[in-house]
Amino acid sequence: MGRDLSALFDPFSVAVVGASDDPAKYGHAIAAQALRSGHGRPLHFVNRRGGTVLGRTAATSLGAIGEPVDLAVISVPAAGFEDAVDEALSCQARAIVAITAGFAETGAAGRERQRAVAERVRAAGAVMVGPNCLGITDNTTGLYLASDHFTPGRVALLSQSGNLALELQLRFGPHGLGFSRFVSLGNQADVTLVDLLTDCARHEGTDAIAVYAEDFGDGRAFAEAAAAADKPVVLLTAGRGAASARSAQSHTGALTTSNDVVTAACRDAGVELVATPRELTTVLTALAGGRRARGREVAVLTDGGGHGVIAADAVEAAGLGVPELTPATRARVGEALWEQSAVGNPVDLAGMGEQDPSSYAATVAALLDAEETDAVLLTGYFGGYAAEVGGLGGGGTALAEGERAAARAIAARMAGESKPLVVQSMYPASPSCRTLVAAGIPVFAATEDAARALAALAAGARGNRTGVAPLPPAAEPPAPTGYLETRRALEAAGVPFPLAREIRDEAGLLAATEDITGPYVLKALHLLHKSDAGGVALGLADRDELVAAFRDMHDRLRAPSYSVEAMADLRDGVELIVGVNRDPRFGPVAMVGLGGVLAEALKDIAFGLAPLPADRALRLLRSLRTASLLDGVRGRPAVDVEAAARAVERITAFAAAHPEIAELEVNPLLVRPDGVVALDSRAVLG
């Protein structure tokens, strides 16, 4: 159900503690915005000196108000913050918005002060946003407790950056977007991003949730909440490029970056991940129209060849298709155009729009009706005929009116249409384009934005989410976690390995050959990367070759022990790597890819939040660049991919059940036509 945040967004009364007449103080900006608040709720200003603030009498304390206060905004110096919180709680405040800074962001002492305050708030049954936040706004309840005004709309913005919120306010305007809510996250001492996301997901006034976050807190809980939300969630985050600061001791650790983890979490949860405020605006604009494509095939309509070719390239670069139109569709399109128009895909009006602007609307309608297309992109000059450029109409009064009529016709056609139409125009602010925007049709100035919008609307964009599998109960830690101990634990979990024996000398080596028949593998144990150190010998045909390899290896490495193993049949097999790396924010993260000694060089890998059920593991394996190897190439037989997926499920479930393991890796996992066998493994304790 989530926490009850009703007092935060729709309190029965509000007090601004630290309200001021001094424009240099944040309490002045909050008080000025609070005066706009509606719904008839009482509003009180508190200033320890009393007097008036913005023409209103200010109480010297919350207790001096003489009536209940449901929500208290606290904007006082840090030295007086705890006293202000305690007074708010003693006055039965159910919610606090803590503007005051100087806590966890300042170091250990600040973190401890913040923790103590949050404990008192929770013990009182209240909720607190912040500290170190910039306030909140709820346009649906008339609650304005941030320093700026936010245009009403249907997007909830949860942000760690106030300036970013102001930029989005500017970017949203031309697209007809606005805010249902704005919450500055602050330090998330009590109310977290997950709490707010969960509440916004059930808020009737919100259609989409935009998030800017650098610190997810519990990243896995964020992914779970986003996956459960029945609304689009669009995430802009920073700092995804750097690898984990912890020194990686396996291929898995070396190959996993923060960007991989966040990307995998967003894919699993169905979150649209964006890189810039512009892209965030683009995706939200696309989603606001409510239409979704049933597939990924796009018809491109242009009034100039250059725009058409550039748009087709951009659409394909976004992962969508630009299919050849069927003869039937070409015939219908041709009815609206003249002989020199191109009726393939892209469709090029080739000047027909200047002869008859209604041809835009007729062609759009024909392409929307085409069975082979899932969306339409109109690109180029449309909007220019009715635009006022340098004081001149784009093409004369009659042509301008014809284009405006075409825009009205397109808007009317889209009223009952389920397929998306996206427009790229050189004149996005023109009257014709404003008509389209008002009808919920996304219009962009840049071709790449239009293509990104189509990708957000394409089949599988959110429907491709796989969800986040719950973590299993923690299992008893294996002790110790050496190579053979890890092997045995994985074998007990259902992962097959070749027969192996640990030996320390030549006598033990000879004894091992009584149980294991050749060919053999010899491995030096307790080395970080055995192959790189020359600590692995493969394909030793008989006992003599095994003894010779042991003598050579022991002379060079002096390892304390070795493993003698049965050599697996590598013919017709594909080597995979399966690993789990424990991320401090998102928990266990699984990696699958092409393995063996070249795993780091090839970097053909895919990620997902662990544990990975077999069906999800299969999808990741099929997403690899080299996935065709699994189906057999150049006369090689197909391998048992389903068996590989089941092995991935067992490996990742084992790692997820052992939180003490920081990195777990099986490399290679040999997949053959008749099943799988793990040939090497490594566990690293956290």
Q: Which of 289, 308, 326 is the last residue of a domain?
A: 289
Contact yes or no for 579/599 (Cβ under 8 A):
no
Shared domain for 347 and 298, answered yes or no, is yes
Domain of 59: which CATH number?
Answer: 3.40.50.720
| Pairwise CA distance, residues 156 & 139, whole Å | 10
Contact yes or no for 8/95 (Cβ under 8 A):
yes
In a domain, 471, yes or no: no
Structural domain boundaries, residue 31: 1-135
Shared domain for 285 and 324, answered yes or no, is no
Q: What is the pLDDT of residue 239?
A: 65
Shared domain for 432 and 298, answered yes or no, is yes
| Pairwise CA distance, residues 56 & 359, whole Å | 61
Shared domain for 411 and 527, answered yes or no, is no
Shared domain for 82 and 127, answered yes or no, is yes
pLDDT digits (tens, 9 = 90+) for 604-639: 899 999 999 999 999 999 999 999 999 998 888 999
Shared domain for 554 and 580, answered yes or no, is no
In a domain, 485, yes or no: no
In a domain, 144, yes or no: no
pLDDT digits (tens, 9 = 90+) for 542-596: 999 999 999 999 999 999 999 999 999 999 999 999 999 999 899 999 999 998 7
pLDDT digits (tens, 9 = 90+) for 43-79: 999 999 999 999 999 999 999 999 999 999 999 999 9
In a domain, 505, yes or no: yes
Q: What is the pLDDT of residue 396?
A: 67
Q: Which of 83, 102, 135 is the last residue of a domain?
A: 135
Residues for the chain: how many in total? 686
In a domain, 482, yes or no: no
Closest listed residue to residue 680, CA positions, set 604, 574, 591, 596: 596
pLDDT digits (tens, 9 = 90+) for 185-215: 999 999 999 999 999 999 999 999 999 998 7
In a domain, 429, yes or no: yes
Query: Position of tokens 């969508």?
Result: 320
Contact yes or no for 663/581 (Cβ under 8 A):
yes
Shared domain for 542 and 437, answered yes or no, is no
Q: What is the pLDDT of residue 471?
A: 93
Shared domain for 128 and 171, answered yes or no, is no
All residue ranges of the chain with pLDDT < 70 are 38-39, 239-257, 388-396, 461-465, 479, 528, 598
| Pairwise CA distance, residues 18 & 85, whole Å | 12
Per the structure, how many domains does the chain have?
A: 5
Domain of 521: which CATH number?
Answer: 3.30.1490.20
In a domain, 473, yes or no: no
Shared domain for 529 and 673, answered yes or no, is no
Q: What is the pLDDT of residue 556?
A: 92
Domain of 214: which CATH number?
Answer: 3.40.50.261
Shared domain for 381 and 259, answered yes or no, is no
Shared domain for 668 and 555, answered yes or no, is no
Shared domain for 448 and 301, answered yes or no, is yes
Contact yes or no for 281/287 (Cβ under 8 A):
no
Q: Which of 135, 167, 187 is the last residue of a domain?
A: 135
In a domain, 487, yes or no: no
Residue type, 557: L
With 0.75 as the threshold, say if the pTM is over it.
yes
